[in-house]
Amino acid sequence: MRISRRAQAIEPFYVMEVAKAASELAQKVAHTDRPMVFLNIGEPDFTAPPLVQQAATQAIRDGATQYTQATGMLALRERISAWYASRFGVQVAASRIVVTAGASAALQLACLALIDAGNEILMPDPSYPCNRHFVSAADGKAVLLPASAADRFQLSAAQVAAAWTDKTRGVLLASPSNPTGTSIAPDELRSIHSVVQQHGGITLVDEIYLGLSHDARFGQTALALDDQIISINSFSKYFHMTGWRLGWLVVPEALVPVVERIAQNLFICPSTVAQHAALACFEDASIAEFERRRAEFKARRDYFIPALNALGFLVPEMPDGAFYAWADCSQICSKLGIKDSWDLAYEIMHRAHVAVTPGRDFGSTDTHKYLRFSTASSMDNLHTAIARLRDMLG
């Protein structure tokens, strides 16, 4: 069967190859005194809180399961709008919010609405691999620019200006970022957006981890800068609704009918039950629970990253959000006589029964030197992982 060039351009998701191997080993060691500890997947160990679960159940009982508008339920768009006002002090009209089938659908809709064949989108290296594949799926090309620890693994305005060509359509940034957990300084983001605007381009910002910011300097939405910025968000991370597949997109008013038309054809609408459930995310009791969990994620970070550093897994920039540690493992590889983080991930998996993610997926600039640890796991599991890594390293 002849495969499309578009499909061939999508690289394998190596994270899942490692996850598959870890799952197979986990079955073999499940009943031993060293079961697998999973620090490889970026999924909160918390699930949707009680009010959200109850709202979903009630929607099913009430038969509220039929199609909604392609842009989502107005009541949910209004709740999201109110959340921007109360959480960030930013006025975002509900009419600019499009509820989507996860942040993945939001990114797909944005790319299909704005990218033509041959357009190039500038992105940092390292960055989340699926983001560049959304660009490829729209027949665009992701251009990855090296981002160093000195720049918090984010792009600078100077880089964007220097890299801009006639083919460049815009930038796709993430703040906080996966895999680094670092955010863009607001002043730098403002400067980047200014460069983009000068060229008539687009600024897309993936903010799916924004609710899990731990530093007030960075925990502000890009929407505060300009209503021409396009923001992608999700109910998966801060709101802990991963498998519910619900997100949203904030776009300029003029872009709403364009995105709506594409969404009508590709998705019809997001999950109706998930939308009814998400309404309960904004109840006071739910927000209080999300904030308690955010504090727990911070406590995990504050324990785990110093412990990693002490072992020689060096985290060059403290993450200010999300739940990741982007650790330089080159010293460990040298000590153990191992080629790179890919081989080290398998070594750790088999010797310590700890699953971690090698850097291969996230770009090409020194990513072979890095491992991504996810701290979206219990404190007990993090203590166990550190103890096993310490034993492994002698």
What does each of the 394 residues of the chain score in pLDDT, given as a tens digit? 898 888 887 777 788 888 899 999 999 999 999 999 999 988 999 999 999 999 999 999 999 999 999 999 999 999 999 999 999 999 999 999 999 999 999 999 999 999 999 999 999 999 999 999 999 999 999 999 999 999 999 999 999 999 999 999 999 999 999 999 999 999 999 999 999 999 999 999 999 999 999 999 999 999 999 999 999 999 999 999 999 999 999 999 999 999 999 999 999 999 999 999 999 999 999 999 999 999 999 999 999 999 999 999 999 999 999 999 999 999 999 999 999 999 999 999 999 999 999 999 999 999 999 999 999 999 999 999 999 999 999 8
- How many other CB atoms sit within 10 Å of the CB of residue 8? 9
Examine the domain organization and report whether 276 and 312 are in the same domain. Answer: no
> Of 249, 267, 282, which residue sits at a domain end?
282
Examine the domain organization and report whether 89 and 191 are in the same domain. Answer: yes
Examine the domain organization and report whether 60 and 14 are in the same domain. Answer: no
CATH for 159: 3.40.640.10
Examine the domain organization and report whether 39 and 151 are in the same domain. Answer: no
CA–CA dist 60, 149 (Å, integer): 48
In the chain, the number of structural domains is 2
Examine the domain organization and report whether 241 and 292 are in the same domain. Answer: no
> Of 252, 282, 312, which residue sits at a domain end?
282
Name the 3-class secondary structure at 67.
coil
Examine the domain organization and report whether 198 and 324 are in the same domain. Answer: no
CATH for 330: 3.90.1150.10
Examine the domain organization and report whether 212 and 92 are in the same domain. Answer: yes
Examine the domain organization and report whether 185 and 158 are in the same domain. Answer: yes
Examine the domain organization and report whether 221 and 234 are in the same domain. Answer: yes
pTM: 0.95
> Of 218, 252, 282, which residue sits at a domain end?
282
CA-based nearest residue to 312, from 295, 297, 330, 324: 330
Helix (H) or strand (E) holding 56, with range, is: helix 50-61
Name the 3-class secondary structure at 203.
strand
Examine the domain organization and report whether 249 and 140 are in the same domain. Answer: yes
Can you read off the two tokens belonging to residue 384?
């166990």
**Which residues lie closer than 8 Å to 210 by C-beta, 6 or more apart?**
175, 176, 219, 221, 233, 238, 321
Examine the domain organization and report whether 363 and 386 are in the same domain. Answer: yes
Examine the domain organization and report whether 250 and 370 are in the same domain. Answer: no
- Domain span at residue 37 reads 5-47+286-393
